[in-house]
Structure 1
């Protein structure tokens, strides 16, 4: 019996070791993904017109023969993690080795395949050495008095950092725009959200990617992109129903039938979110008309979501933790709406790891 217990203990320890090593080397997933983008592999495979063999891929990349096996090992790693798929050669195949094809994930990294939904800018921003490096300060930051991880690692808030470095601000705007393009895929499932309203303000709408998509889908809907003056300066639109207004959402928000907050509230603490929602409530309640606030954000739901979906949401929560923001559970969202004075709300899980929420004053 003792040996059985010892053997069980050893098995558990080895399982624990495996889990720890998986976490220790988890950063290699993002590094391998960045490698594939830097070498333009998703577009190479797509433009090839069929699964590409290792020899053809190496030839296109002009990789030295001595490093051909490195490409194979990286592609094997990415395929194991769902970025590519490996087609093994069959008995009737003329090709002399296995071939690589795109998956839904790698299609989103191909400008040729998914021009309107390419997430390459988001990957490049997320894997930037400086932006990744700040997480080395997690321990000191959490045990210290500095408010945000950005301030602990870089000496400034995230917004000050972006404002002071135009190249990072451009990368950030490109990343947010690429993410906004995914909204187009969900519009067909939530057209009723925009029915019955004549005007909408996209608060923190950046360069207007989401607003343009909405305006094209609903040409009778007047849409205003509302962001900081320096963000919307010199922006114009070819759409008659789209305009840009500079301002501060903490002071006032233009009046409209609906206010949209896409990926905004997760940037802030509960106290600040309640303040923003109260300002939104005033905007849609003017002149005695009761409008609504449309929120596109994450709802953590560990009980109902699949493990991978929950892990994605929890990873994003840690990202937001670095700027004192957070991803919220359904209970936490309810708390915000109640404290901000909203009478009711509805949740529509339509956006992959995000949901759409309608809040009514």
Structure 2
């Protein structure tokens, strides 16, 4: 019987050692994200994909733009990425480090391809950049302090939006690209599995819709619909609409154009409760009694059919900490969402967990 601090007993020494390994795994978990980022920067997923068939370690090493004196380290990088299920390894012998072991991409690995329109690679590069990684080191200072709205602001002296809107165009562009590719992935799934959410909508306003990636995908399926993209003037400046797509510069806190339905994709989790209620009240003013607000966001505890619950739950909890570290928002439980809707004057809602870590929430006056 092992004891910890003289008061907690463990059933055996194995449990003690497993507890130590658990702490190690979480302490060094940043190595996972850094290894993924390194693989993207080196072009490993793209090189293997272009090869067309599982690629041997020796072939991969010969192709990589690295110092060849360090080529013996590539199998160690790949070993972790295979363990993390970004690649699968086909062994050709009984030797675990055989140089002729061949690597191929898993579904997660395909999301690291630079030219994949639904790739998560830009988000990986954005989050692992030193500018963003620095914010995590100021979490304690932010928690004990009084005046800053986030750990990011403590680290950089500016809010997240101020920094990337005015100071760092490179990372700002990377952020915008990551959001655009996420939109393509989400809309691909949504319009395949739950397109009825848009049926009967004559005019849709996409709040914070950027360059119109979401609305263009919707119009491909519902060409008779009309869409308005509302975003800040500097975001939509110079963008040209079509006969059924209009770009409008404005602020969602001030005014939202009248419509049959309003779409808020990954918007409300950026904001605190008070701000969300303000946005939702503007939405309620803009729709008729038969209208609705369509929200795409996480609902803590909800998971889609066939999903791995552990992976989904961890993604939700990690994103909640991201919101706390960089912004003023959070991921919300159904109870927290319900309170926002009630405070904004809505009477009913429907949650459809059809998007993995996120759900579609339809809110009615």
By the TM > 0.5 criterion, same fold?
yes
Structure 2 counterpart of 1:188, from 188, 192, 214: 192
* Equivalent pair of 1:346/1:358 in contact (CA under 8 Å): yes
**3-state SS of paired residue (2:143):** helix
Counterparts of 1:359 and 1:23 in 2: how far apart (Å)? 38
What residue in structure 2 maps to residue 136 of structure 1? 137
Q: Once the two structures are superposed, what CA deviation does each residue of 1:242-263 show, in whole Å capped at 9, x if it has no partner?
A: 1110001011100000000000
What residue in structure 2 maps to residue 258 of structure 1? 261
* Equivalent pair of 1:292/1:358 in contact (CA under 8 Å): yes
**3-state SS of paired residue (1:147):** coil
Unaligned runs of 5+ in 1: none
Counterparts of 1:240 and 1:168 in 2: how far apart (Å)? 33
Q: CA deviation at 1:169?
A: 1.9
What residue in structure 2 maps to residue 147 of structure 1? 149
The structure-2 alpha-carbon separation of the partners of 1:302 and 1:207, relative to structure 1 and needing over 3 Å to count, comes to: closer
CA-based RMSD of the aligned residues comes to 2.1
With the length of structure 2 as denominator, give the TM-score of the two structures. 0.91
The structure-2 alpha-carbon separation of the partners of 1:309 and 1:161, relative to structure 1 and needing over 3 Å to count, comes to: same
Structure 2 counterpart of 1:249, from 240, 252, 255: 252
* Equivalent pair of 2:141/2:151 in contact (CA under 8 Å): no
The structure-2 alpha-carbon separation of the partners of 1:302 and 1:142, relative to structure 1 and needing over 3 Å to count, comes to: farther
* Equivalent pair of 2:232/2:250 in contact (CA under 8 Å): yes
Find out whether 1:279 has 2:282 as its counterpart: yes
Find out whether 1:97 has 2:100 as its counterpart: yes
What residue in structure 1 maps to residue 291 of structure 2? 291
Structure 2 counterpart of 1:334, from 324, 334, 338: 338
**3-state SS of paired residue (2:362):** strand
The structure-2 alpha-carbon separation of the partners of 1:196 and 1:15, relative to structure 1 and needing over 3 Å to count, comes to: same
Find out whether 1:357 has 2:358 as its counterpart: no
The structure-2 alpha-carbon separation of the partners of 1:307 and 1:7, relative to structure 1 and needing over 3 Å to count, comes to: closer
Q: CA deviation at 1:74?
A: 0.2
1:1-361 counterparts in 2 under 5 A? 8=11, 10-89=13-92, 97-112=100-115, 115-145=116-146, 146-165=148-167, 166-182=169-185, 183-237=187-241, 239-285=242-288, 289-301=289-301, 306-322=309-325, 323-361=327-365
**3-state SS of paired residue (1:277):** helix
* Equivalent pair of 1:42/1:110 in contact (CA under 8 Å): yes
